[in-house]
A = this chain, B = another copy of it.
Amino acid sequence: MRRVAIIGVGMSKFGEVWERGFRELVAEAGLRAIEDAKVQGEEIDALFGGTMAAGRLIGQEHIAALIADYMGINPTAATRVEDACASGGVALRTGMMAVASGLHDMVVVGGVEKMTDVAVGDATSALGGAGDQEWELFMGATFPSLYAFIAQRHMKDYGTTEEQMAAVAVKNHANASKNKYAQYQNEITIEQVMKSKVIASPLKLFDCSPITDGAAAVVLCPLDKAKKYTDTPIEIIGTGQASDTIALHSRESFTTLKATKIAAKKAYDMAKVGPKDIKVAEVHDCFTIAELLAIEDLGFFKKGEGGKATANGETALNSKISINTSGGLKGCGHPVGATGVKQAVEIAWQLRGDAGARQVSGAEYGLTQNVGGSGATAVVHIYKRAD
């Protein structure tokens, strides 16, 4: 298996983007990544695009071919990958396989979602497609309510409090305030989170990631060619992906995402590192409770202790472990298909030393964890600067 490195990254400014469409957003991110990698368009021989629900959000499928067209890189092989909110992370893994296999040498992985072209209710309905349509969504569940179940159970089993969950949002907004690409660049307080409108108890508005338009992209090539393009290639040294039941009610546990644990074990084993080696990680905080599950299931904290650790500041920038330095899904925004790729972009910036005011010091390894639905898909990657 050939070793694979990230040699270029780029993203669009996340937010509610009224003046540009899906194709402009993704072309912007893709071209920035290509420019960052200093490669020519004709060198790109494959594109993998992660998008969750373009069919319902913009009436468009076949989006990988569309992206290749608007990036001006036809006849590049172009493939869409979809695993709900893990579409971006799984696209990254698929692009990595393409290079590792030897079938492709220079690959762009893009993630994109244009979510504000439909009414919020329609976006919520489209996002519901990440769960079990027949057994959950059709019965009235929405994603806030599914994660509210998880939060209730975590509170019951481990004594996690609403204030501890609020601390996730406060920390992620603080990080986002240092990120010019973030949707929300304002800090918030525990009190603001606690007083925000209840969406599905115990989750309040500020416990929830927003509806966002945005795109992100990375360029991959074999590690042994990476030094021709950049002084700071970022090698992907571990990857793991796992599935679980599509419906939450079929799971063994509500408070552990089994798919995250299995994916993480594969990634750690491949990378030959453990949770203690990771100093910076982007995890899937679609809701604040999801970040607590993630930092527990990834082995950074013991099960049940994620809330307390967060409230104690152990996941803040340059603390014990810096979690979601980009601002995470909550602060940076969550254009669903883009999120997994944006996580890789952030980790590349961190390991290259390009993260500016939110730079983590002394991180040798980085990790990303991207989740689909209520945990039916999880994908974990581990990165190392390769110079």
Q: Which residues of A contact B (CB under 8 A)?
A: 1, 21, 46-47, 52-56, 58-66, 68-69, 74-84, 90, 93-94, 97-98, 100-103, 125-126, 128-134, 137, 239, 241-247, 250, 258-259, 262-263, 372-373, 376-377
Q: Judge whether B103 and A239 touch: CB under 8 Å.
A: yes
Query: Contacts A1-B101, A94-B94 given: A62-B83 contact, CB under 8 Å?
Result: yes
- Cβ 8 A contact of A81, one of B66, B80, B259: B80
Query: Contacts A100-B101, A242-B75, A259-B75 given: A61-B69 contact, CB under 8 Å?
Result: no
Nearest B residue (CB) for A137? B59
Q: Judge whether A79 and B65 touch: CB under 8 Å.
A: no
Give the distance in Å from the alpha carbon of A243 to the alpha carbon of B250 in the complex.
Answer: 40
Give the distance in Å from the alpha carbon of A59 to the alpha carbon of B124 in the complex.
Answer: 12
Q: A53 contacts which chain B residues (CB < 8 A)?
A: 55, 61
Q: Judge whether A64 and B83 touch: CB under 8 Å.
A: yes
Q: Judge whether A129 and B79 touch: CB under 8 Å.
A: no
Q: Judge whether A82 and B82 touch: CB under 8 Å.
A: yes
Query: Contacts A83-B79, A133-B59 given: A102-B1 contact, CB under 8 Å?
Result: yes
Copies in the complex: 2
Q: Judge whether A62 and B372 touch: CB under 8 Å.
A: yes
Q: A125 contacts which chain B residues (CB < 8 A)?
A: 59
Give the distance in Å from the alpha carbon of A243 to the alpha carbon of B80 in the complex.
Answer: 12
Query: Contacts A100-B103, A103-B100 given: A244-B74 contact, CB under 8 Å?
Result: yes
Q: Judge whether B129 and A65 touch: CB under 8 Å.
A: no
A-B contact pairs, 6 of them (CB 8 A): A59-B129, A61-B82, A66-B376, A77-B242, A77-B263, A101-B101
Query: Contacts A55-B126, A56-B55 given: A65-B243 contact, CB under 8 Å?
Result: yes
Q: Judge whether A84 and B62 touch: CB under 8 Å.
A: yes
Q: Judge whether B81 and A79 touch: CB under 8 Å.
A: yes
Q: Judge whether B373 and A65 touch: CB under 8 Å.
A: yes
Q: A98 contacts which chain B residues (CB < 8 A)?
A: 97, 101
Give the distance in Å from the alpha carbon of A101 to the alpha carbon of B98 in the complex.
Answer: 7
Q: A102 contacts which chain B residues (CB < 8 A)?
A: 1, 100-101
Give the distance in Å from the alpha carbon of A55 to the alpha carbon of B62 in the complex.
Answer: 13
Q: Judge whether B243 and A129 touch: CB under 8 Å.
A: no
CB distance from A183 to the nearest CB of B (A): 23
Q: Judge whether B61 and A130 touch: CB under 8 Å.
A: yes
| Max chain B C-beta neighbours (<10 A), residue from A64, A65, A126, A246 | A65
Give the distance in Å from the alpha carbon of A193 to the alpha carbon of B234 in the complex.
Answer: 59
Q: Judge whether A376 and B69 touch: CB under 8 Å.
A: yes
Query: Contacts A55-B55, A243-B76, A243-B78 given: A373-B62 contact, CB under 8 Å?
Result: yes
| Max chain B C-beta neighbours (<10 A), residue from A61, A77, A242, A372 | A61
Query: Contacts A79-B90, A101-B101 given: A133-B58 contact, CB under 8 Å?
Result: yes
- Cβ 8 A contact of A52, one of B61, B65, B134: B61
Give the distance in Å from the alpha carbon of A62 to the alpha carbon of B244 in the complex.
Answer: 12
Query: Contacts A55-B56, A65-B373, A373-B65 given: A78-B74 contact, CB under 8 Å?
Result: no
Give the distance in Å from the alpha carbon of A134 to the alpha carbon of B117 in the complex.
Answer: 13
Give the distance in Å from the alpha carbon of A76 to the alpha carbon of B244 in the complex.
Answer: 8
Q: A134 contacts which chain B residues (CB < 8 A)?
A: 21, 60
Q: Judge whether A246 and B66 touch: CB under 8 Å.
A: yes
Q: A84 contacts which chain B residues (CB < 8 A)?
A: 61-62, 65
